[in-house]
C-alpha cells in the first residue's frame, strides 16, 4: 500500500500543480566510519506549563544524543530520551490545546533527573530550536545545563538567507516536503535532527556545520551609554534594544563587527567623540542563559 501511495504522490508532484508533504521518519545516520574526531551532541526540546522559568515547569523533556564531527556530519544517532513530568499544579488549558498533553497523561510521572544529568554532563554541545527558552527552563531544574555549551538552531542559522520565509520548525520541514507531530518534545527533536543533517537550500552547507560555526564565534554586547534620547530611533533602526534595568541601549555583535559599530556610534550618535563604552563578551557556555540576560 505504501508503494502505491508513493506512486500517487509522485504523479501529483510531477504535474506541478500539487505539493505533497510526507511524514518525517526518525533520522538514521549513514553508518560510515568517521574520518575526523567526533563529539557528543544533544538535541533538546521541552514542553512546559508556560513561558516563565521562575514560575513555570517542564512537563515533557525530549533529548536525542548523536555523534558529530567538526565538519557538521552526523555519524551516529544514540539514545532517544523522552519523559513526562507531573507539575505542581494543573496544566493550563492553552498548553493542553497546543501540545495535547493532559493532566491524566502526566499523573504520577517524573523525569529521571540522574539520567538527564548523565546525558548532559557528557555533551560537547546542546542544541535547541529556541535555546533562549529551553536553556533557561532546564537550568532551573538541572544545574548541569548551566555548564554546557549551547547553540540555537532558530537564531544561529541564516534560514532566510537560505531561502526560507521563517525559522518555524514546521515551516522549515514543509519547505523540504515533510511534516511532523509538532509541539511534542521528541518529535520536535527528530525534526531538528533531520534539518541539521540536510544541506541548506542555497549554500549547500550542512545545517549543523553552519550552526557550529556560529556557536563557536564569541559575541559582544556593546552598550551605547548616555546616548542622546533624541537619537533613539536611529539606534532602533540599527537593531539596538533597550534594557530597562540598565536604562541603556545595547546591541549584540560578532567580534569582527565591533570596530564598524564603534565608528557608527562615534559618527552618528556621539558627534565624533566616542566615550569608553562598556561591553560584555559571551561564548556558547553562557549565551542564551539567564546569566546573559540584559534584564538580570
Same domain flag for 140 and 229: no
- The count of C-alpha atoms lying within 13 angstroms of the C-alpha of 87, restricted to the half-sphere facing its C-beta, is 19
Q: Which residue has the higher pLDDT, 201 or 2?
A: 201
Same domain flag for 231 and 285: yes
Residue 151 lies in domain:
23-216
Q: Could you count the other beta carbons within 10 Å of the beta carbon of residue 224?
A: 22
State pLDDT tens for residues 171-222. 999 999 999 998 899 999 999 999 999 999 999 999 999 999 999 999 999 9
Same domain flag for 41 and 55: yes
Q: Between helices 185-197 and 207-216, what is the axis angle to 10°?
A: 90
pLDDT band at 3 (very low <50, low <70, confident <90, very high): confident
Q: Which residues contact 235 (CB under 8 A, 6 or more apart)?
A: 224, 227, 249, 269
Give the lowest-confidence range in 16-20, 59-63, 80-84: 16-20
Same domain flag for 157 and 284: no
Same domain flag for 99 and 29: yes
State pLDDT tens for residues 118-163. 999 999 999 999 999 999 999 999 999 999 999 999 999 999 999 9
Q: Which residues contact 248 (CB under 8 A, 6 or more apart)?
A: 223, 224, 225, 227, 242
User: Cα 52 from chain centroid?
Assistant: 17
Same domain flag for 247 and 204: no
Same domain flag for 251 and 181: no
Residue 168 placed within a domain: yes
- Beta partners for residue 77, in sequence order: 66
Query: Distances from the Cα of 68 to the Cαs of 54, 117, 126, 164, 241, in angstroms?
Result: 34, 20, 12, 25, 35
Supply the CATH number for residue 64's domain. Answer: 3.30.420.10
Q: Write down which residue in 168, 184, 216 finishes a domain.
A: 216
Burial of 131 (0-12, 13-18, 19+ CB in 10 A): buried
Give residue 296's pLDDT: 79
This prediction's pTM: 0.93
Q: Could you count the other beta carbons within 10 Å of the beta carbon of residue 44?
A: 30
Same domain flag for 212 and 225: no
Quote the DSSP letter at residue 265.
I
- Beta partners for residue 165, in sequence order: none
pLDDT band at 6 (very low <50, low <70, confident <90, very high): confident
Q: Write down which residue in 151, 183, 216 finishes a domain.
A: 216
Between CA 1 and CA 254 the distance in angstroms is 52
pLDDT band at 70 (very low <50, low <70, confident <90, very high): very high
pLDDT exceeding 90 applies to what percent of the chain?
94
Q: Is the pLDDT of residue 1 over 70?
A: no
Q: Write down which residue in 173, 198, 216 finishes a domain.
A: 216
Residue 4 placed within a domain: no
Q: Report the domain count for the chain.
A: 2
State pLDDT tens for residues 36-63. 999 999 999 999 999 999 999 999 999 9
C-beta of residue 196 within 8 angstroms of C-beta of residue 162: no
Amino acid at each position: 500500500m505504501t508503494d502505491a501511495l508513493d506512486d500517487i504522490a509522485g504523479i501529483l508532484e510531477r504535474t506541478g500543480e500539487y505539493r505533497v508533504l510526507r511524514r518525517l521518519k526518525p533520522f538514521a545516520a549513514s553508518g560510515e566510519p568517521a574520518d575526523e574526531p567526533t563529539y557528543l551532541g544533544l538535541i533538546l526540546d521541552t514542553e512546559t506549563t508556560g513561558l516563565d522559568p521562575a514560575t513555570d515547569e517542564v512537563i515533557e523533556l525530549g533529548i536525542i544524543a548523536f555523534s558529530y564531527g567538526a565538519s557538521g556530519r552526523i555519524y551516529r544517532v544514540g539514545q532517544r530520551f523522552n519523559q513526562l513530568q507531573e507539575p505542581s499544579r494543573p496544566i493550563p488549558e492553552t498548553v493542553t490545546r497546543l501540545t495535547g498533553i493532559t493532566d491524566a497523561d502526566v499523573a504520577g510521572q517524573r523525569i529521571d533527573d540522574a539520567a538527564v544529568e548523565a546525558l548532559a554532563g557528557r555533551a560537547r554541545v546542546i542544541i535547541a530550536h529556541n535555546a533562549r527558552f529551553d536553556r533557561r527552563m532546564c537550568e532551573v531544574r538541572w544545574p548541569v545545563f548551566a555548564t554546557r555549551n549551547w547553540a540555537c538552531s532558530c537564531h544561529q542559522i541564516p534560514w532566510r538567507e537560505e531561502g526560507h520565509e521563517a525559522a518555524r520548525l514546521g515551516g522549515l520541514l514543509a519547505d523540504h516536503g515533510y511534516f511532523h507531530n509538532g509541539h511534542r518534545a521528541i518529535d520536535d527533536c527528530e525534526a531538528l535532527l533531520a534539518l541539521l543533517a540536510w544541506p541548506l537550500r542555497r549554500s549547500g552547507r550542512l545545517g549543523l556545520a553552519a550552526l557550529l560555526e556560529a556557536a563557536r564565534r564569541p559575541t559582544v554586547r556593546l552598550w551605547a551609554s548616555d546616548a542622546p534620547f533624541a537619537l533613539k530611533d536611529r539606534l532602533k533602526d540599527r537593531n539596538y534594544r533597550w534594557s530597562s534595568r540598565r536604562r541603556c541601549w545595547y546591541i549584540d555583535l560578532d567580534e569582527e563587527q565591533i570596530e564598524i559599530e564603534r565608528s557608527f556610534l562615534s559618527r552618528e550618535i556621539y558627534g565624533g567623540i566616542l566615550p569608553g563604552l562598556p561591553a560584555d563578551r559571551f561564548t556558547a557556555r553562557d549565551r542564551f542563559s539567564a546569566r546573559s540576560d540584559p534584564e538580570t
